[in-house]
Structure 1
């Protein structure tokens, strides 16, 4: 049985004994009068239940930030990590391919210069045997070409100097009254067309017919018998 409270009231009927420090406990006849207190208690319970969930709500942004940091560090690690084959993975250079043979191609419309530095259209001298002397003066080979050239076929010598000298073409004592046409190609257009650099001790020969088509190229002039038939055919 409960004890009376401090005011002399006994415990509420039907309730067990309560701690005296709670004071007087009054149980109303109408429970609806406790609605306000019940709502307040529910609010307190919800707030109390929401506090432990706050670290969980912050967990997702922290997880995203952590993944971003790990991804960035992994990228830096992959870039800066030394590789065993670094410096040896360069692409292999393309194999050397010799220039295409100019035979069968049209001679470009080049203007060379004579002893007076006057322009001379090269295609105006066709048909012709053209001898490039920038690698070798080869006066004997020039004399052979002049002796074998049929009438109507020009013999032209070309040097890479600013202006040609008389000794760069006409040999001493030509076999007939014809003269070698001595020209210079300071711009290097003819050598560029050939795609072959000058070689010391070698003179390059081009045989060009009257239509301007290169019929044969000899990197080294050699004996006249090596191209006599093609030279004679230029007069046709």
Structure 2
């Protein structure tokens, strides 16, 4: 049996609200209370770990992936100071004056029978590109004003265009588009491009959209010289 500690000699005074405290003679009598205290401590510890347990593996991977994607988007879309768009690198088309004095390229065109014809073999010449517009009036005017010895040549796209009746015009075609590519002038739907070339193969005049060959009569006369 135990005895009351509060009445025993040598023990400190205990708070009166504790009531009567009995200290057993055999310490094994406290085993049940000790085990109960250990279970209570383990329960509280387990509850603490459950509250602070980190996310499971797949959830953690998903969270990291989302954060990485957001960070990548921020880096891409964030404005960068000190950077300005560079100048355009497209090559401008040459002006007619830049083509004047240059040699005519050695191009082989085709006639109505699809036989090759060397363009440089028809010099001096007034070359009219009619791939965008047949413009028979402009062609007939050039044929009428061309000096003796100066050929008038029309150059179409795939197939030669028929020359106006009563004119001496050499109708050719340029299926490969070599002449138009050399000039860098787009075909016009309402006008022809005129090219005057002397007997040495030198370009003396380029008119991207011809209004009237009469405006260039002086250049035509020099071609015959």
Which residue of structure 2 aligns with residue 171 of structure 1?
164
Give 3-state SS (helix, strand or coil) of 1:105's partner.
coil
| Displacement after TM superposition at 1:85 (Å) | 4.2
Unaligned 5+ runs, structure 2: 1-70
Provide the residue aligned with 1:193 in structure 2.
182
User: Alpha-carbon deviations, 1:3-26, whole Å to 9, x = none?
Assistant: xxxxxxxxxxxxxxxxxxxxxxxx
- Between the two proteins, the alignment pairs up a number of residues equal to 151
Q: Distance in 1 between matches of 2:220 and 2:149?
A: 11
Unaligned runs of 5+ in 1: 1-75
1:234 positional shift: 0.4
Structure 1 residue ranges (4+ consecutive) displaced by more than 6 angstroms after TM superposition: none
Cα 1:83–1:229 change in 2 (3 A) is same
Q: What TM-score do you get using the length of structure 2 for normalisation?
A: 0.61
Once the two structures are superposed, what CA deviation does each residue of 1:110-136 show, in whole Å capped at 9, x if it has no partner?
000000000000000000000000111
Q: CA deviation at 1:224?
A: 2.3
Shift in CA distance, 228/81, structure 1 to aligned 2, threshold 3 Å: closer
1:93 aligns with 2:93: no
Name the SS for the 1:220 alignment partner.
coil
Within-5 A mapping of 1:86-165: 89-94=84-89, 97-100=92-95, 101-161=98-158, 163-165=159-161
CA positional deviation for 1:171: 0.9
- Residues 4-153 of structure 1: matches in 2 within 5 Å? 80=75, 82-85=77-80, 89-94=84-89, 97-100=92-95, 101-153=98-150
Larger Rg: 1
Distance 1:81 1:138 in 2: 55
Contact 2:145 2:214 in 1 (8 A): no
Instruction: Give SS of 1:181's match.
Output: strand
1:135–1:81 CA distance, 2 compared to 1 (3 A): closer
**Separation in 1 of the partners of 2:194 and 2:206?**
6
